[in-house]
Each structure stands twice: as structure tokens, then as C-alpha cells.
Structure 1
Amino acid sequence: MALNHGGRLIEASRRYGIAEDDWLDLSTGIAPWSYPVPEVPAHVWARLPETDDGLIAAAADYYRARADAITALPGSQFAIRELPRAISAHSGPGRVGVPAVGYAEHGRAWAMAGHEVVAYDDLPGLFTLVETLDHAVVISPNNPTGERADIESLCALAGELDRRNGLLLVDAAFADCNEGLATRTLPANALVLRSLGKFFGLAGLRLGFMIGRGRMAVAVAEQLQPWGVSHPARWIGRHALVDRAWQAAQQSRIDDAARSLTGLLNRYFSQQAVTPVGLFVSVFFDRDEQAGRVHTALAEQAIWTRLGDNGRWLRFGLPGDAPAAARLEAALNEIARRGLC
């Protein structure tokens, strides 16, 4: 069975009887401003991709990593699925620490590969468990909790796991909007996943990167089919990664929108934990079913949010312009009038 994620507007349209084009979709952590893709040359569509096209060099510069440690992927989800399988095939199943609240595909992938998944609540909790684990997953920043791991913590975790030939997987899909992650300083038993889809607003491109040089990085890369990343994706990705002027403007847009959204949500959910995480803001509720009621009330007004799997949090993506922000505020005002927030 597929896990629940953001998006899925077609399903929402059917459920609530609202036309797909009428929705304000705030359910994902994808930037509402996409990189302005230049016209793709005809030869990019006609020819098979090549690996010496400058994409890896651009990624190495952008992610501050060694070029020989970077593998381009058809989305970071590829490595999330393949890494647990590769480890099972290489050394057998083990005990894996995975965030109790976070991107749920991690736990699913490890469990399906035969590993014992051990949930942890936060990084201090992981440190208390790490001596009993073979491998661990850290999401930094975490989606939806916003927890971040600094480089010292990641190195310490990787060092402990290395004593048992274990691996640390760092999912840094949302790291563009924070302090970043200098992967050159991570140990060899750490793998880092990066995504082009979130910050650049190019989720449909399906382009991500795995950064690491250990045997498991090689094992995952070997699962790629020939020409596993399309030529257009590589071409567009290279242009986006080197466009520093656009990146600076994008960061400014995100910062401004995140501040405005955080302020708006704090006004309506002053009794809840409102957590800004760059490309989205999470609201954690202390009363059962309140998040679900707010989610439904917003959906009835054609505003789509992400309801947490445990029913205790909502994730709000950034409104892309002033009319979208005003529409959200009007909807929140209506549900406040009804006593739901």
C-alpha cells in the first residue's frame, strides 16, 4: 500500500467535489516558484545523456562536495529504496534507527528489505540508542519537525556506527533553505541525499544526488539503469545549479514568504507549536483530532494541506503570492469564527 504524501490533488478534488484548478495547494514542501527553465535544445531531446556533461561538477560546487563522491539519481527516492536492499544483500538485515516522525518512506524501505526498524523521537534519543544500532537515518532538517543535525553530531553518530561497519544515511532534501551541509567533512560511512525538486521548485524533473564514496554508495549506483537520469533532467539541473543570481533571489523569496506564513499561523494557532522549516511551516496540535478538523475545514474551502499520519500535525507550504496568502488568511479567519482554531 502506498504511503500518504503531500500533493494528490486529483484525489482531493474527487473527495471534496472541487475542481482541480480551483485548489490552493499548500500540501508539499516544494517551492511555489520554479526555476525558469530555458528552452531545451532539440538535441537534448534527441540524444542519449552522457555523464561528462558538467552536471556533476555543478553539483559538486553547489553542494560543497567532491565530484568523485556524487551520483546523479532519478530523484533521491531511488536511493531511499535501494540502499536498504543493498545493505541486506551485502551484510544481511540489521537494526536501523529511523525518526518516529519524518519522511515515512525511510522506515518503509528498511522494513521491506528485512531490517528491524527502531523509531527514535529526536537526535538526543538517537544518541541514547546508537550503541544498539547497526545503521541510522537522520533527516536534516526533518520534515515535518524541523529538527536539524549539525556536522559534529553527524560525525559522532557515523563514528559510533562505523565500529560495527554500519552506515549513517542523511536525508538533506530540505537543506538548501538552511545553513547547508559541507559534505566534504563527513566520514566515509555517511551517505547524504540531496534533492533538486524542493528549493528549485522542480519536483517533476525527478533529479537528486547521492553524496558518498563508500561501498554502499557504489552498490546503490550499480542499481541505476543505463541512462537512468534523462538528458533533459541533466541539462536543466546543470543550468539551475550554476545560476547563483536566481538562487539568491529564490532564497530571498522563500525567507520573506516563510516569515509571513509563520506570523499568520502564530496568530491563529497561538496555543500550538508553530515550527518554520524554510519551505514549509508545521503546526503541532496538543488536542486529538484538532489537526484533522482544521485540515478538513480548509479543504472544504479548497485549500489543501498535509495532515500528519498520526493526526497531530499540519504542514503548510508557502503561498506563492499575495492573493494566495490572502486566501489562506480568509480561510483561517472562517475556521477561527467556527471555533476550530
Structure 2
Amino acid sequence: MDPNSVPSVDRVPHGGHAAETVEFSANVNPEVPPGVEDVYRDAFGAVGEYPPEPPTDYVAAAAEYVDVDPAHVIPTAGGLAALRLAIETTVETGDTALVPAPSFGEYAREVRLQGATAVPVPESEILDADPDDHALAVVCNPNNPTGRAYDRGDLLAFVRRSRAAGTPVIVDEAFLGFTDRETLAGTDGAIVARSLTKLFGLPGLRAGFAVATGKLGERLRRARRPWNLGTPARLVGAYCMQQTDFVGATRDRVERERERMADVLNERYEVFPSAAPFLLLEVTGESVDAVVERCERRGLTIRDARTFATLENHVRVAIRRPAENRRLEEALLDV
């Protein structure tokens, strides 16, 4: 990190801070796997000792979860920690990095903290960008906040071109677990970042991991801080990644509700096609403020998507339980 750049880099706004309303501003599963509370409680008995280093049980669970060699897994305290580790080990002061827009604002922020320049590329065109002369390229799949999922063949072709140019590619798969699409974990030239926050409904746990091969993986392993994954996160995370029935049920519910909600809301909004557990809506005929405030009056918090670069008249809404989703539809349609 470049100390001289820190004072000029602002924080990035996020959703997920509602206390007394139904939370649609954060893309987090409202359900958690059965048995999580018991595992978390049992973990307390081991917090008086340092966690094992490296956390081989967690690494083994993550490797099985994405079907890679455990040697390629780097455990981290959440997906964002994986992103920071990847950017810290690939970007230097004065470099440039390709980042999608609109997309997760932390990509550009982390690049700027390194004293480098984030070069925005429309998220619909990121796989057509020229990676030459850039220190890094970032892809979010599915993209946040648009929900776009990229064709696997196109992703692999972009990674190959980038690898030939000497440019590592971060593939942020924070929401890929909500789909049955195949991960890029284990692909040479790619650093895959995974989060357990979203799919397993545990944002306060702070558990995730990166996957990288070859010299990229070695750099991440060497730079990773020891004991960077606390005992509750290690044990609960490993347990969650083995809950295949929960994952399958979540995928089915999210897909079914997302498609139904898109059909209903299309009466009043332009609804972006999505493969993620959220929908991006373009607001017409009224202000974004009016939509956000109407939802708030009904006890629902949605994301004002104007905080994302290039979006001017948009809101983003998560996919929750069916009854909650019906309440949101009524508020958005003002019925």
C-alpha cells in the first residue's frame, strides 16, 4: 500500500446497514445452513488458543467446494480480504489496472490505495478490453450491481490474452455460488476471490478465500498474514461449504423468485437481466429518492444505486424470502 495515496482515497458506500427494516440493500441470503449456530457455539471452546497455521481443515473444505488442489487455496477473512491481498501483490505505485463499471467500488479503491490508477471499462465490454500494459484486470462474475454473468468461454479467452500480456486477472466470484455456473478457480493467470458472506447469510463471520496457481499463488501464500482466519470463521466456514443441500435449495429459491419478480416489476421499471441474487432497476417517471423513501415508509430498505459509477436513475434490490419479496413488489409498484 502506498502511504502517500491513503489520504486521498475515500471510503466506498455499501448497503446492509438497516436495523429495523427488511434488508433489501445488501445481497445476502436471509437463510443460514441448519446447524451453523451449534458449530459457532462449539468453536468458543477453542478461541483461547491460536488457530492452526495454516488452517488446513478450512483449506481442504474450500478446495473441495471449488474442486481444486488444496495447494492453490489461500484462506482470507472474507472476499474483500482476498481482493486486497491480490491487488497488494500485483499492483505497484504508478501502475494502471482495468476495472469494470458499474461494479463493486472496492476494486478501484484498492487500486488507488496502491498509488495506482483504476481505468474504468464498461462492464459489458470488460472481456473485450486490451490487457496490454496494465498491471491487473478485474472481472466480477456475476457483476454487481447489474447481475450480468459472463460466458465461460469468453472469460477463459480473456484470461488467456491477459496471461500472454503478463497481466493477472482477478475474477470476483462473490455471487457465483448462487448459480450452477462453473468457477474459474484453478485457471492459470486468474486469481479467483470467493466469499462465504453472501450465499451462507453470514456477513459478520468474515470468511472467504482466494485461488491462484503458479507464481501468482505463491505470492499470495507468502504475503498472507498468519492467523488471518479466526477459529469461529474457520470452523463455521468449513461446515458451510459442505452443505450441498442448502446450496441447492438456495439456488432454486433465488432463481424462481428472481424470474418472477423481474416479470412483475417490469410493468414499471426497466429490469436488467440477472444471474445474481439481486435485480437492478432503472427508475423512470419519478425520482430515485421517491422510490427509496416509499420503500422506507413500508419498512423496507433498498439500495440507491446512484452510488455506483455511471448509474444515475437506478435502484438495486436483493432477492429474499417469497413473502418479503411480495411486500417489496407492492412498495415498488405503489399498490
How high is the TM-score relative to the length of structure 1? Answer: 0.84
Aligned to 2:267, the other structure's residue is in SS state helix
User: Which stretches in structure 1 are left out of the alignment for 5+ residues?
Assistant: 10-19, 337-341
In the alignment, is residue 124 of structure 1 matched against residue 125 of structure 2?
A: yes
**Secondary structure of 2:266's partner?**
helix
Q: What is the CA-CA distance between 1:329 and the residue it aligns to?
A: 3.1
Asked if 1:2 corresponds to 2:4, the answer is no
In structure 2, C-alpha distance between the alignment counterparts of 1:180 and 1:47, rounded to whole Å = 39
Deviation at 1:149, TM superposition (A): 2.4
What is the CA–CA distance in structure 2 between the aligned matches of 1:226 and 1:131, rounded to whole Å? 34
In structure 2, the residue matched to 1:329 is 329
Residues 147-175 of structure 1: CA deviation (Å, up to 9, x unaligned): 22233222222222223322111001000
Distance 1:102 1:71, change over 3 A: same
- Count of paired positions: 317
Contact 2:185 2:192 in 1 (8 A): no
Residue of structure 1 aligned with 2:67, choices 59, 64, 67: 64
TM-fit CA distance, 1:237: 1.0
Counterpart selection for 1:283 from 281, 284, 287: 281
* 1:197 counterpart letter in structure 2: T
Give the deviation of 1:142 after TM superposition.
Answer: 0.1
Aligned to 2:97: 96
Task: Tell me which protein shows more helix as a share of its residues.
Answer: 1
* Change in 2 beyond 3 A, CA 1:117/1:167: same
Correspondence 1:288-299 to 2 at 5 A:
290-299=287-296
Q: CA deviation at 1:136?
A: 0.7
SS in 1 for 2:281: strand
Q: How does 1:6-155 map to 2 (within 5 A)?
A: 6-9=15-18, 20-21=19-20, 23-36=21-34, 37-40=36-39, 41=42, 42-50=44-52, 51=54, 53-89=56-92, 93-131=94-132, 133-155=134-156
After superposition, where does 1:176-191 map in structure 2 within 5 Å?
Answer: 176-183=177-184, 186-187=187-188, 189-191=189-191
* Corresponding residue SS for 2:89: helix
Say whether the 8 Å CA contact 2:121–2:129 is kept in structure 1.
Answer: no
Q: Alpha carbons of 1:154 and 1:43: their partners in 2 closer, same or farther (altered >3 Å)?
A: same
| Alignment gaps of 5+ in structure 2 | 1-9
Q: CA RMSD in A?
A: 2.3
> Could you tell me how far 1:318 is from its partner in structure 2?
1.7
When residues 67 and 263 of structure 1 are mapped into structure 2, their CA distance, relative to the original with a 3 A threshold, is same
1:307 is aligned to 304
Contact 2:147 2:274 in 1 (8 A): yes
Whether the aligned pair in 1 keeps the contact of 2:271 and 2:279 (CA below 8 Å) is no
How far does residue 206 in structure 1 lie from its aligned partner after superposition? 0.5
> Per-residue displacement from partner, 1:179-230 (whole Å, max 9, x unpaired)?
333435622x210001111111111110011000243443334343321101
Seen in structure 2, the aligned counterparts of structure 1 residues 125 and 329 have a Cα distance that, compared at 3 Å, is closer
Letter in 1 for 2:113: M
Task: Give how far 1:35 is off.
Answer: 2.1
For residues 247 and 167 of structure 1, do their structure 2 counterparts lie closer, same or farther at Cα, with a shift above 3 Å needed? same
TM-score of the aligned structures, taking structure 2 as reference length: 0.86
Is residue 237 from structure 1 mapped to residue 237 from structure 2 by the alignment? yes
Identity of aligned residues (%): 24
